[in-house]
Structure 1
Amino acid sequence: MNNVWTAYNVLQAAAPTAPEQKMKDIVDTAVSAGGFNTLVTAVKAAGLVDALKGAGPFTVFAPNDAAFKKLPAGTLDAVLKDKNKLTDILTYHVVPGKMPASDVAKQRSLKTLEGKPLSVDASGGNVMINDARVIQADIMCNNGVIHVIDSVLLPK
């Protein structure tokens, strides 16, 4: 349990705080952050903008632009052309409900909107979602929360 709190405290130190009245929805938060251009492009291509602007609440494990660059050459282009596969991948990054880092770190697995579970490991001072490391936690939005991850999650 000590490792869970260590990981949570590390993530909390990096998490920005925003005044409640200035919170935006998940999509607008990602757009204004500037580091999620590829993710926003993918969300638009999949037709998921309205869903992620909806009431939710949602917990999004959001790969940043650097995470998408780690994909093998041609993977992103191929997926952007296959709306069904793209939708599966994107909804695999979303969990129903608003789960701050303190709640995520207590879990062993999380069921995604795509239907398959994500594994959670909060040992060793990091929070891992499958093989992706949470690099920034608790970006609060008016319809959920974003946790930034360093790799794209691919459903098996």
Structure 2
Amino acid sequence: MQNHFALFHLPQQFDIDAKALDAAYHEVQNQVHPDKFASASDAEKRVAMQWATRANEAYKTLKNPYKRAAYLCELNGVDLQTESNTAMPVDFLMQQMEWREALDDARGQKDRAGLETLESDLRGARKETLAQVGGLLDAQDFTQAAEKVRQLMFLERFADEVANAFELLPD
């Protein structure tokens, strides 16, 4: 079975051409669209549906930089060990503790400005970590990239918590 990059005829690398991905995705979707199989056998319809589902999954994976990085690690034999490996560098853990306290304070005080500052800090950390992941993947250091991807996973989850805190603020 071909990988997601091969499905869309893209080079297997972190930096991808978003327009080329979009165009390739639409091309695959057009080839397997249910309307083209309206008079086909049930088996042919099923295969077309499987291809459409696979194309959707591949597109979502490659479109999202975090998912693309994780996928590249896995393609290169590095298991992210997201369930079993929670080890993180001390400075990263200290930063998380500070952010967690800031989130708790902002929630408790219904402090929109505090949440905005936290959101901005997180956006910067995610951007920096993604750049590091890209560099590590380009250098073929998939083990170190996997560690950074695990950090990104934490940052993504924490950003969701911050977004949820905004929703709970009074208007």
Please tell me the TM-score bracket, short chain as reference: under 0.3
TM-score between the two structures when normalised by the length of structure 2: 0.25
More helix by share: 2
TM-score between the two structures when normalised by the length of structure 1: 0.26
